[in-house]
Structures are given as structure tokens and as C-alpha cells.
């Protein structure tokens, strides 16, 4: 985690929520830093607070203790440009693909300030040109994923947050969309946090992998992944090594 | 396009079947109480301008103004109750308490408050359509998945932006559906209320013809009232086609 300016810094983050009449701690003293222009995956068991952590970073949850900084300033959706791709993509089914993609930039910068050149470029990069007039119900899962990616990127975000964005896709589509994501990321170098429960996905897509424990979630370890961007299994021994290491940490945490 | 053509053809076929059966039954019964449809249609064409048009205008006007009141008050109320939990907590019990009251039973009170004029009829239409519109819209807003809102929150979108961009276009389908259901009831209530304190309106026209034992005129009124209902039904269908193409 050394070198490069920090884009995201989470210090001693704790989050509680009220369940009936008692408080449940979802995240406890989590610490994490992500360098500018890098992808960090957060993996961990279900209920470990991965999505909660992402909601804190997105400014959706504001009731927490600790410090969460983006580019040195406290998270504020009004001042930061945060692109969020939620589970199930969060597309608006009564808007066309084009209207969905415009939505974020329109809200942030106004209808007349949308960068149309960049929009055209994204359509080309994400192979969406043929679908712009369609509605989300007329798209496949992979196409919806790409639309939500285009919507987040058109915003030119400081930070891109992805919540298990590839989990609903079948294996082949997932590989295609992951590859496309890396190509687009490589062109724009947006600082990204990717929440996933898939070890393979984390190894393929992230330079750093943070392991979060089961509830209450703590960042147990952050490992540097030099197999980032390598197609799964192409560097068998190293891949197996990192895969086993992550499994050990996750299993160890479960036994605790 | 083909679907639209099929719909139109089906509509014409249904029209001819209903009127054909009516014609046959009327010929079999052969009594002034049950006149054949051709006689009614001829009567409408010959007497519409001098005798019926003014009543149509009054009834149409009452329905439109009543529905406008429902839209102007009911749509914002439904949206606010669906989106803001605290508003829903306060207003839902009030809505639930008032929803089951048979609105027609309120007519004497409404007449005492608003008099015998047009306003009473408009208020009755408003009362009958307001509650289903509010409840349907509130539920529709609540049914919008949370994930749709998350990217908006992360952008720091204002409530106004969220309502304008996400909620309002999303409730149009539910709004038109509840209006479609409400219109049928509104016309029934209108018919009833137009029998009090007025000499204009299709309700008055039908009952007046009945008392004069002018059955052809009475059936003409019923047919025209049905056509007014049909007009609003088709209008909601057309609006749905324009504003909800994603369906």
C-alpha cells in the first residue's frame, strides 16, 4: 500500500444500525487506504458489512464514527463526484439506455453540460451504440451492467464504487464484461472500490485486495495482487498461491 | 402498429356484436321500454344539438374539473407519502380511515357545505377518485427498488431532482390505472348527484326523460354517458402509450 497519493482513506470506521430495540454493530474499527487511480477489491463473507462500507463511501450512510476521506476531504456527495454501481445495476426501467446514462451527469452538472464527446466515446468503448433507444427490460444482464458502468463513468467520477456488480451474470458474460471493465478502467484510471465475494474476480480485477471479517466487519488484511489483469489461471502457480492465501485468511476469520 | 390495428378491429367487432344482439332482442321484445339501437342513434343525431349537447357539456366539465382537482392534490400527496416515511406515518391513518366511507353517503353533507351548484358535483367526483389515486401512487413509489435511488443519493441529488427524474415518470402508469378505475365510479356518482339541484347534466337529462316516459331520449342519455366514459378510458390508454412506452 505504499507510494502514490491516497484517494480514499478510512480510519477507525464503525457503523451501527438499530434492529428492533437493540443496536447491531456492522463495521468495527475498519481501516483502509486506496491509492489514486487504483482498483481495490473488498472481499469477505456475507453480512460482513461490505455493502455498508460502500454506502458510507457513497455518502448514503452518514451515521458512523471514525473518519472517511475522499481526496483528503470528508465524504460529501454534493462536492465529490462519486459513481456508484449498485447490486442489480440500479437502472431506471422507465428511462431509455441513453436517458439512464445521462442521468448522473445531468443531476451533477445540468442537462446542457453533458460531455457528448465523452458520451460517444463511452458508447463505443462499452459497445452500447446499438442499444441507446432500448429500455432496461429489453437488455441482457451484461448489457445492463455496461449501461450502469457508462452512467457512472460519464460523471467523470473521483471514485467509482461497485457493489457485486458482476455477480448476477453468467460465467461467460461475466468474463466479457470484466475484460471490458478493465479496458475502460485502463483508459480512464478511475479510483475504484469493488465489493465482491468472488476470489477469482478480486484477483483478476484488483491491484489491492482487502479482506473484511464477518460481522462486525473489520479489514483483516490488505494484500497486493500482482496478478491484477491476468486472465484467470494463466499464471497457475502464482494464482494458486494468492487464491490459497485469501482462502486461508477468510477461513481463519470464520473459525475465530 | 399491428397490435393497435388489431385492437381497433376488435373494438369495432365488439361494437357490432353488442349492438347486433341489442337490435335482435329489441325486435323480439318489441316494446317502447326496450327500443332498438338504430332508433336511439337516429334520435341522438337529430336531437343532439338542440336538446342533449348542453347536458353533455355540463357533465363533461364536472368530470374534467373533478379529475383535475384529484390530480393536483392527489398526485403530490401520494408521492410525498410514498417517498417520505414521516409524512406517510402521519397521513396514512387519515387516508385509511376515510377511504372505506361510501362517498355517496357524504352527498348530503357536501350539499350542505358547498350548496346545490356545480361545486358539489365536482367535490363528489374529487372525493371518489382522490383516495384510490393517493393510495396507488403511494404504493407505486414504495415499490421503486432502493437500488434505483442509491446512485442519486451518491450524487447528492436533491429531493426535487429525485422526484422529477425518478419518481414522477415512474408513477405515471399507476396514476393512469387508478384514473381509469376511478372514472367509472366518478361517472356513476355524477349521474346520482346530477339529480339534485340542477337542470343540466346527463344525470338530470336521463331521469327527466324517464319521468316524461320518453324512453328513446332516456336511452340516448345512457348511451351518451357511456360514450363519455369510453372517451376517458381511451384517453388514458392513449396517454399510457405516450408516457409509458417502456411497458
What pLDDT score was predicted for residue A201? 86
Same structural domain, B173 and B56: yes
Q: Does A74 reach chain B within 8 Å, measured CB to CB? A: no
CA distance B10 to B12: 5
Residues in chain B with CB shorter than 8 Å from the CB of A101 are: none
Tell me how far apart the alpha carbons of residues B89 and B109 are, in angstroms, rounded to a whole number. 28
Helix axis angle, B202-211 to B215-243, nearest 10°: 160
Q: Determine the residue among A61, A92, A96 to mutate to test chain B binding: the one whose Cβ has the most chain B Cβ atoms within 10 Å.
A: A92
Determine the pLDDT at residue A1.
Answer: 45
- Structure confidence by residue, pLDDT tens digits, A6-57: 889 999 999 988 777 778 888 988 899 999 999 999 998 887 788 899 999 9
**CB-count burial class (<10 Å; 0-12, 13-18, 19+) for B105:** exposed
Chain A environment of B246 (Cβ under 8 Å): 93-96, 135, 137
Q: Does the predicted TM-score (pTM) go above 0.90? A: no
**CB-closest option in B147, B156, B244 to A90:** B147
Residue B130 Cα distances to A106, B9, B55, B104, B183, angstroms = 34, 34, 25, 14, 11
Average pLDDT, chain A: 86
Same-domain check for residues B156 and B46: yes
| Across A163-184, average pLDDT | 82
- Report the chain B residue with the minimal C-alpha distance to residue A136: B246
Identify the residue whose cell numbers are 460465467.
Answer: A171
CA distances from A247 to A165, A224, A240, B116, B170 (A): 21, 15, 10, 79, 44
What is the three-class DSSP state of B35? coil
Q: Are residues B58 and B5 in the same domain?
A: no
Q: Are residues B22 and B46 in the same domain?
A: no
B35 domain-assigned: no
- pLDDT band at residue A256 using 50, 70 and 90 as cut-offs: very low
pLDDT tens across A201-230, in order?
Answer: 888 889 899 998 887 888 888 888 877 777
Residue B6 shares a structural domain with residue B66: no
Which residues on chain B are in Cβ contact (under 8 Å) with A94?
A: 169-170, 172, 244, 246
pLDDT higher than threshold 80 for residue A86: yes
Structural domain count of chain B: 2
Minimal C-alpha gap between A48 and chain B (Å): 19
Same domain membership, residue B12 and residue B62:
no
A93 and chain B: CB distance < 8 Å anywhere? yes
Q: Please give the residue range of the domain that contains residue B16.
A: 1-30
Taking the domains of chain A in order of start, what are their residue ranges?
A: 6-80+160-251, 93-157
Pair (B67, B22) in one structural domain: no
- pLDDT, tens digit, 9 for 90 and up, residues A122-144: 998 888 999 999 999 999 888 99
Higher pLDDT, A153 or A235: A153
Chain A positions touching B172 (Cβ under 8 A) are 94
The CATH-assigned architecture of domain A6-80+160-251 is 3-Layer(aba) Sandwich (3.40)
B185 and B88, same domain (yes or no):
yes
CATH code, domain with B142 = 1.10.3720.10
Tell me how many residue pairs between chain A and chain B have CB atoms under 8 A apart: 72
With left for phi above 0 and alpha for psi between -120 and 50, is residue A110 left, alpha or beta?
left
- Residue A60 has its nearest CB partner, among B148, B153, B246, at B153
Q: Which pLDDT belongs to residue B1? A: 52
- Whole-complex ipTM: 0.85
Cα distance between residue B190 and residue B198, in whole Å: 12
Q: Splitting chain B (247 residues) into consecutive groups of 10 residues, what average pLDDT does each group show?
A: 70 89 90 88 89 92 94 96 96 91 89 91 93 94 94 94 95 92 89 89 93 92 92 91 86
Do B132 and B22 sit in the same domain of this protein? no
Query: Is B5 among the domain residues?
Result: yes
The CA distance from A124 to the nearest CA of chain B, in Å, is 23
Do residue B77 and residue B126 come from a single domain?
A: yes
Query: Scanning the structure block, which residue is given the C-alpha cell 484488483?
Result: A206
A residues 210-249 lying closer than 8 A (beta carbon) to B: none
Is pLDDT above 70 for A237?
no
Residues of A with CB below 8 A from B145's CB?
88, 90
Chain B interface residues (partner A, CB cutoff 8 A): 145, 147-157, 161, 165-166, 169-170, 172, 244-246
Question: pLDDT value at position B150?
Answer: 94
pLDDT number for residue B148: 94
Q: According to the model, what pLDDT value does residue B33 have?
A: 85
**Hey, are the CB atoms on B246 and A59 less than 8 Å from each other?**
no
In a domain, B196, yes or no: yes
Yes or no, beta carbons of B154 and A94 under 8 Å apart: no
Q: What is the pLDDT of residue A2?
A: 44
Dist CA A161 CA A191 (whole Å): 9
| B13 shares its domain with B86 | no
Of B150, B154, B246, the CB nearest to A93: B246
Contact: B246, A161; criterion CB under 8 Å: no
Do B18 and B80 have their domain in common? no
Which is nearest to A168 in space by CA: A89, A52, A83, A55?
Answer: A89
Amino acid at each position: 500500500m505504499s507510494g502514490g497519493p491516497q484517494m480514499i482513506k478510512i480510519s477507525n470506521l464503525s457503523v451501527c444500525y438499530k434492529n428492533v430495540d437493540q443496536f447491531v454493530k456492522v463495521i468495527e474499527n475498519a481501516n483502509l487506504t486506496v491509492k489514486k487511480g487504483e482498483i481495490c477489491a473488498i472481499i469477505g463473507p456475507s453480512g460482513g458489512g461490505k455493502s455498508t462500507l460502500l454506502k458510507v463511501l457513497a455518502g448514503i450512510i452518514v451515521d458512523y464514527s471514525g473518519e472517511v476521506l475522499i481526496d483528503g476531504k470528508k465524504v460529501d456527495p454534493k462536492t465529490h463526484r462519486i459513481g456508484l454501481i449498485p447490486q442489480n445495476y440500479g437502472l431506471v426501467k422507465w428511462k431509455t439506455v441513453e436517458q439512464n446514462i445521462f442521468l448522473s451527469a445531468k443531476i451533477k452538472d445540468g442537462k446542457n453540460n453533458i460531455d457528448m464527446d465523452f458520451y460517444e466515446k463511452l458508447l463505443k468503448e462499452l459497445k452500447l451504440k446499438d442499444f441507446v433507444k432500448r429500455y432496461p427490460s429489453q437488455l441482457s444482464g451484461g448489457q445492463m451492467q455496461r449501461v450502469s458502468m457508462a452512467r457512472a463513468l460519464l460523471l467523470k467520477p473521483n471514485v467509482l464504487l461497485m457493489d457485486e456488480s458482476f455477480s448476477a451474470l453468467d460465467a461467460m458474460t461475466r468474463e466479457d464484461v470484466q475484460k471490458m471493465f478493465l479496458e475502460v478502467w485502463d483508459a480512464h484510471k478511475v479510483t475504484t472500490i469493488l465489493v465482491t465475494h468472488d476470489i477469482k474476480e478480486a484477483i483478476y480485477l484488483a491491484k489491492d485486495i482487502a479482506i473484511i471479517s464477518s460481522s462486525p466487519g473489520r479489514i483483516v488484511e490488505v494484500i497486493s495482487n500482482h496478478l491484477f489483469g491476468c486472465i484467470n489461471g494463466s499464471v497457475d502457480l502464482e494464482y494458486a498461491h494468492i487464491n490459497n492465501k485469501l482462502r486461508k485468511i477468510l477461513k481463519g476469520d470464520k473459525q475465530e | 402498429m399491428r397490435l393497435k390495428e388489431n385492437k381497433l378491429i376488435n373494438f369495432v367487432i365488439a361494437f357490432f356484436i353488442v349492438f347486433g344482439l341489442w337490435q335482435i332482442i329489441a325486435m323480439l321484445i318489441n316494446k317502447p321500454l326496450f327500443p332498438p339501437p338504430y332508433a336511439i342513434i337516429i334520435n341522438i343525431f337529430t336531437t343532439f344539438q338542440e336538446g342533449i349537447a348542453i347536458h353533455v357539456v355540463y357533465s363533461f366539465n364536472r368530470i374534467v374539473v373533478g379529475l383535475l382537482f384529484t390530480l393536483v392534490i392527489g398526485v403530490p400527496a401520494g408521492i410525498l407519502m410514498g417517498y417520505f416515511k414521516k409524512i406517510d406515518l402521519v397521513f396514512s391513518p387519515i387516508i385509511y380511515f376515510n377511504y372505506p366511507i361510501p362517498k355517496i353517503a357524504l352527498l348530503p353533507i357536501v350539499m350542505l357545505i358547498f350548496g346545490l351548484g356545480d361545486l358539489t358535483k365536482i367535490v363528489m367526483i374529487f372525493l371518489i377518485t382522490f383516495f384510490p389515486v393517493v393510495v396507488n401512487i403511494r404504493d407505486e413509489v414504495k415499490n421503486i427498488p432502493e437500488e434505483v435511488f442509491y446512485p442519486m443519493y451518491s450524487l447528492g441529488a436533491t429531493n426535487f431532482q429525485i422526484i422529477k427524474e425518478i419518481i414522477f415518470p415512474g408513477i405515471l402508469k399507476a396514476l393512469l390505472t387508478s384514473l381509469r378505475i376511478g372514472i367509472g365510479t366518478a361517472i356513476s356518482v355524477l349521474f346520482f348527484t346530477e339529480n339534485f339541484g340542477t337542470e343540466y347534466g346527463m344525470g338530470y337529462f336521463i331521469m327527466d326523460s324517464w319521468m316524461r316516459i320518453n324512453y328513446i331520449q332516456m336511452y340516448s342519455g345512457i348511451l351518451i354517458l357511456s360514450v363519455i366514459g369510453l372517451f376517458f378510458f381511451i384517453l388514458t390508454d392513449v396517454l399510457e402509450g405516450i408516457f409509458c412506452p417502456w411497458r
